[in-house]
Amino acid sequence: MRSLRSRRRSRFGIAAAAVLLSVLALAACGGGGSSGGSGGSSTSSGPAQSGGTAYFAEGTQAAPNYIFPFASLQYFSVTNMNQFQELMFRPLYWFGKGATPDLNLSLSLANNPKYSSGNTQVSFTLKPYKWSNGEKVTAQDVVFWMNMMKVEKLNWAGYAAGTLPDDLSSVTTSGNTVTFKMTGKNNPYWFTYNELSQITPLPMAWDISANGQKAGSQACGTASFQDVTVKTTKTSKGSTVTPVSAAAKSCAAVYTYLTGEAKKLSSYATNPLWQVVDGPWHLSGFTTDGKATMVPNPKYSGPVKPKLSKFVELPFTADSAEFNALAAGKVDIGVLPPSDITSNATTSGTCTIKPGANNPRLSNYNLVAGNAWQINYFPLNFNSTGNNGQAGKIFSQLYFRQAFQTLVDQPAYIEHIDKGYGVPTYGPVPVCPPNNFAASELKLGNPYAYSPSKAKALLKNNGWTVKPGGTSVCADASKCGVPAGTPLSFTLQYVGGSPFEDQLMHAEKSSWAAAGINVNLTTSTFDTVLTNAVPCSGGSSCSWEAENWGGGWIFAPDFYPSGEDLFQTGAGSNSGSYSDPQMDNLIKSTTVGTAKLDQYGVYGAKQLPVIWQPTAVAATEINKKLQGVTPLNPLGNLNPETWYFTK
Amino acid sequence: MTGYLIRRIAQSIVVVFGVILLTFLLFHLYPQDSAARACLGPKASKVGIENFNHQQGYDLPIYHQFWNYTWGIVRHFDLGSSCKYNQSVRSLILNRLPKTLVLVGLSTVFALIVAVPLGILQVIRRNKPIDYVLTGVSFVGYAMPAFLLGELLILWFALDLHWFEFEAPQSASMLQILGDPRGWILPVFSLSVLTIAGFSRYMRSSMMEALTEDYIRTARAKGAGPSRVLFLHALRNALIPIITLLGLTLPAIVGGAIITETVFNYPGMGLLTTDSALNNDVPVLLGTTFVAAVATVAGNLIADILYAVADPRVRYG
């Protein structure tokens, strides 16, 4: 079943990675952070003052448009979740502590989860939080979410067969403690970071199915998990879930009602439903263009109370429009478009990026760079029928992938194309931001450092006649792994429109050409590239060879960088259909077993299931008078309650 | 005239219907699940895609889908809903259209006010220094990329001099937008420069042509003064090509000006259309195409009617 854990991070991870890289780095960390973020300082210029309005620039064309936390795939984005919903509706567990992606218990609704019975059971106790309507946040609010998940799992963006709620045999409560019994053993890290991370307690005020109903009038919020029964029917196209018990039917009715209300964007700020919050903020204004105005929740019972009197998120049509807003001093936090970066950043160690001098028009801002919890890569299609049926076979040769990766000069691209605002990706576990998951071996450097001579030697030693600047040809089929005469040529499609991506792709093409690897570059839209880059198994629809959507993968809301979604055989987001028994075993040992990610990380770095690419890092501008913003949260979470202005 | 109007309106309805049919069919040339994939992401399960297609009615026979679509438009102006925006296409258009109407409408009016006298002035002073200067300025204006002009205007007048706002008004209400001239002057001016350049060139050549006509010679022979000849006899006829141009401008007024909208952070119809095309947001693309088709047909219809007003020789049976 675990091999089917496929879809969960896909939409969020891929889309968010490519579109919202810049937005991510804007996020501010919550309290309790300790480790320093990379980047510039945020010098205090005077005594703190309470009040004031902070303006936050949303990502270009990435305005929030969905308020209900139980979101389906199309609304599952950093913009909607991390930078909108979670300011009002707190998730059970908060991730991002300082500049690290770690579990942040001080901002979580529950205490540390306790695993028992050989890691087949987990219990957690809720802290004494309150909803803004005065009700307590209770264990039953967690069950409300789980009940909803049971009935509407196909509409929950985070769902994949075999994962929550399928991997639970029971959910029980005792006082303010919730206990999950699992159907099998799980790695506690994996379960906390990838499963519990998905839960958001729901208020009983939402347990209604029509306007004017009394809060809790439906049974979805009050029923036990066991009383919610559904019938799952498997068809050739997948599964369907039909509610059976009365409680399950009420969950379906509540879901229909709440999603209907969530489609009324113009009423977000006035609908009483969405005013019942347990987070530090509630909406006071919302436009259908995506301008969101939030004010402090006066009954917020969490640890860090807002100091600002208002927090406003502003939509922008383009990077240039956002830059103009920064230059005009109309926003307090925004991303500096790469084209407006006037001085290169320098890197200290692997992850610490020290911004260069700021753009002269932005003298009232501090320039800060923060890592995102992500990896960047593009897949090769191991089943590709391209190149007369030989492309997939070429990609399956480790020596080819090694030669190909060896020609990717990540440090040079970061320096010359990303203007220093980038970090290299060497494997499936991010080395940056600094974390406890990456193997120390990878922290030391790139297993495939740039070397054209090594690349050429790899190809020559494996039967290829190398033609630098031309197209190498297989001369010895027994060594190449493909018929003699096969040209080393294929097509790489990437998302067009970004001059930086264009530069990167052409630089890499030029580098690959040095070893006679002829890569034809084509461009298309983001959606088209994503639609093409799906796992396939032969036939005319499997002719794609390499697709680059430009952003790799952001680990959220499954924060444990294990590879079951990406590189396990048959995984839905295993775009290139990579399959390797040892990789499967290593992944399994980190999800079911208790192995650390070291071996998996090193193996993935060396086996090259994808081609690793440099990860661009956003340059974030922060008003010098706005404090409490840094270090930036690598997961994209916003905590404006920690922000304050100085005089 | 009434009969002509009825005939032309009937023709227009047929044309709009044809455009809807054609675009509807064109969009169905996309791979079957592309709309669902664009909305749900490439890793959406088959069941998810099936559910989506069912909810959107994409699993119905195409003639049934077309009937539902056109009937929805006729009955409630229901153009479907956008997955990307989580809104109905109608509300999206109603939100964006006023913005675009203000931007492109004002710029067109402003352009007319400036371009017509400019064209006349060039004719009066033809082959004189002022004619050459204005011709040169027109060419520069015509050749100026909209994004460059927009950015330069923002840089000078908003960021450096602080005379105007760096972005267009953000309200969705037409009245509120109009009530914020510091916001709309720069984008309107930016868009007008291009239009003025085009209109003034048309006006100049049209006026020149009119002045060579026999009736002008006759008017002069009958003792009409230069002003009377110019404004009473020539101008009315010279305006006919401008009327055609204006009629053709209506689709642009509705369709938006994507570059100006982008530069001035002003999400209007142009940006909506291009975004929907890039995102495979089929309902929005169909909706904006429908609105543009109606505007095109209406623009032509209005131009035809104005011909009759401007030119007494034009008579409709």
Q: Which of A195, A194, A161 is CA-nearest to residue A178?
A: A195
Q: What stretches of A136-285 show up as alpha helix (H) in DSSP?
A: 139-151, 188-190, 246-262
Q: Structurally, how many domains does chain B consist of?
A: 2
Alpha carbon A305 to chain centroid, angstroms: 27
| Closest CA of chain A from B56, distance in Å | 14
Distance CA(A545)–CA(A558), nearest Å, equals 28
pLDDT score for B31 = 66
Is residue A510 within 8 Å of A517, Cβ to Cβ?
no
Q: Are residues B234 and B282 in the same domain?
A: yes
Of A7, A74, A330, the CB nearest to B43: A7
SS3 A439: coil
The sign of the dihedral angle between the CA atoms of A228, A229, A231, A237 is: positive
Distance CA(A144)–CA(A133), nearest Å, equals 17
Cβ–Cβ gap A237/B46 under 8 Å: yes
Nearest CA in chain A to B275: A61
Residue written as token pair 């264009």: A502
Q: Are residues B104 and B148 in the same domain?
A: yes
Q: Are residues B180 and B65 in the same domain?
A: no
Here the tokens at position A114 are 């306790």
Cβ–Cβ gap A327/B87 under 8 Å: no
Of A7, A531, A573, the CB nearest to B45: A7
Give the model confidence (pLDDT) of A477-512 as tens digits. 999 999 999 999 999 999 988 889 999 999 999 999
Strands A546-548 and A489-495: parallel
Long-range contacts of B207-210 (CB under 8 A, 24+ apart): B207/B119, B207/B120, B207/B123, B207/B234, B207/B235, B207/B238, B208/B123, B208/B126, B209/B238, B210/B234, B210/B235, B210/B237, B210/B238
Is residue A142 within 8 Å of A178, Cβ to Cβ?
yes
Give the model confidence (pLDDT) of A259-272 as tens digits. 999 999 999 999 99
Cβ–Cβ gap A6/B43 under 8 Å: yes
Lowest mean pLDDT among A95-109, A284-298, A417-431, B245-259: B245-259
> How crowded is residue A194: how many other Cβ atoms within 10 Å of its Cβ?
27
Give the model confidence (pLDDT) of A270-282 as tens digits. 999 999 999 999 9
Q: Please state the rounded mean pLDDT for residues A342-371.
A: 92
Q: Are residues B36 and B180 in the same domain?
A: no
Of B40, B45, B87, the CB nearest to A288: B87
Amino acid identity of residue A548, one-letter, is N
pLDDT score for B40 = 74
State the average pLDDT for chain A.
89
Cβ–Cβ gap A324/B265 under 8 Å: yes
Cβ–Cβ gap A65/B265 under 8 Å: no
Considering only CB atoms, which chain A residues are within 8 Å of B263? 318, 320-321
Query: DSSP E strands: which ranges in A575-617?
Result: 611-612, 615-616
Q: Which of B180, B193, B187, B113 is CA-nearest to residue B157?
A: B187
Q: Please state the rounded mean pLDDT for residues A565-573.
A: 87
Give the model confidence (pLDDT) of B48-85 as tens digits. 777 778 777 888 888 998 898 888 888 888 888 888 89
Considering only CB atoms, which chain B residues are within 8 Å of A379? none
Q: Please state the rounded mean pLDDT for residues A617-627.
A: 95
Read off φ and ψ for residue B125, nearest 5 degrees.
Answer: -105, 35
Cβ–Cβ gap B166/A325 under 8 Å: yes
Q: What's the DSSP call for residue A577? A: -
Q: Are residues B40 and B75 in the same domain?
A: yes
Considering only CB atoms, which chain B residues are within 8 Å of A287? 170, 172
**Nearest-5° angle of CA A175, CA A176, CA A179?**
90
pLDDT score for B305 = 80
> How crowded is residue B76: how many other Cβ atoms within 10 Å of its Cβ?
10
Exposure of A314 in the CB half-sphere (CA atoms within 13 A): 26
Of A10, A328, A528, the CB nearest to B41: A10
CB distance from A540 to chain B under 8 Å? no
CATH number at residue B126: 1.10.3720.10
Distance CA(A219)–CA(A214), nearest Å, equals 12
Chain pair A-B, CB pairs under 8 angstroms: 127
> How crowded is residue A621: how many other Cβ atoms within 10 Å of its Cβ?
28
Q: Are residues B181 and B263 in the same domain?
A: yes
Query: DSSP E strands: which ranges in A268-322?
Result: 281-286, 292-296, 310-314
Q: Which residues of A547-571 are buried (b: 16+ CB within 10 A; e: fewer)?
A: bbbbbbbbbbbbbbbbbbbbbbeeb
For the entire predicted model, the pTM comes to: 0.86
Burial of B137 (0-12, 13-18, 19+ CB in 10 A): middle
A541 or A457: whose pLDDT is higher? Answer: A457
Residue written as token pair 């977000």: A268
Q: Are residues B35 and B164 in the same domain?
A: no
Burial of A322 (0-12, 13-18, 19+ CB in 10 A): buried
> How crowded is residue A499: how many other Cβ atoms within 10 Å of its Cβ?
10
pLDDT score for A35 = 33
| Closest CA of chain A from B83, distance in Å | 7
A112-116, A230-234, B66-70, B273-277: which is most confident: A112-116
Considering only CB atoms, which chain A residues are within 8 Å of B145? none
Cβ–Cβ gap B41/A15 under 8 Å: yes
- Determine the straight-line distance between the first and last CA of chain A, rounded to whole angstroms: 57
Is residue A494 within 8 Å of A501, Cβ to Cβ?
yes
Q: Of B89, B120, B152, which residue sits at a domain end?
A: B89
Q: Of B89, B124, B152, which residue sits at a domain end?
A: B89
Percent of chain A with pLDDT over 90: 73
Q: Are residues B81 and B158 in the same domain?
A: no
pLDDT at A26 over 80: no
pLDDT score for A34 = 33
Domain, as residue range, for B57: 2-89
Distance CA(B64)–CA(B43), nearest Å, equals 29
Helix, strand, coil in percent for chain B, rounding step 5: 75, 0, 20
Cβ–Cβ gap A534/B263 under 8 Å: no
Give the list of residues 6+ apart from residue A323 with CB closer than 8 angstroms, or none. Answer: A334, A336, A337, A340
pLDDT score for B275 = 86
Q: Are residues B16 and B61 in the same domain?
A: yes
Q: Which of A522, A127, A554, A631 is CA-nearest to residue A375?
A: A554
Cβ–Cβ gap A531/B38 under 8 Å: yes
Q: What is the pLDDT along chain B (317 residues), one digit of tens a residue?
A: 677 788 888 888 899 889 888 888 887 777 666 677 777 765 566 667 777 787 778 888 889 988 988 888 888 888 888 888 999 999 999 999 999 989 988 999 999 999 999 999 999 898 899 999 999 998 898 888 888 999 999 999 999 999 999 999 988 788 899 999 999 999 999 999 888 888 898 899 999 999 888 989 999 999 988 889 988 889 888 888 888 888 778 787 777 788 899 999 999 999 899 888 877 788 898 899 889 888 888 888 888 887 777 776 666 54
**Mutation for testing the A interface, residue in B34, B86, B103, B155 having most A CBs under 10 Å:** B86
Cβ–Cβ gap A317/B37 under 8 Å: no
Of A14, A328, A525, the CB nearest to B158: A328
Burial of B47 (0-12, 13-18, 19+ CB in 10 A): middle
Distances in Å between the Cα of B208 and the Cα atoms of A126, B127, B132 are 84, 12, 15
Query: DSSP E strands: which ranges in A272-336?
Result: 281-286, 292-296, 310-314, 333-336
Nearest CA in chain A to B94: A288
Q: Are residues B239 and B270 in the same domain?
A: yes
Torsion of Cα atoms, A423 then A427 then A431 then A436, to 10°: 170
Q: Of B89, B114, B135, which residue sits at a domain end?
A: B89
| Closest CA of chain B from A318, distance in Å | 6
Here the tokens at position A579 are 């399959």
pLDDT at A545 over 80: yes
Give the model confidence (pLDDT) of B164-177 as tens digits. 999 999 887 888 99
Cβ–Cβ gap A263/B37 under 8 Å: no
Cβ–Cβ gap B279/A527 under 8 Å: yes
Torsion of Cα atoms, A269 then A275 then A280 then A281, to 10°: 0
Distances in Å between the Cα of B185 and the Cα atoms of A328, B165, B266 are 17, 9, 13
| Closest CA of chain A from B210, distance in Å | 45
Q: Are residues B276 and B294 in the same domain?
A: yes
Read off φ and ψ for residue A380, nearest 5 degrees.
Answer: -105, 145
Distance CA(B310)–CA(B317), nearest Å, equals 17
Q: Are residues B241 and B269 in the same domain?
A: yes
pLDDT at A3 over 70: no
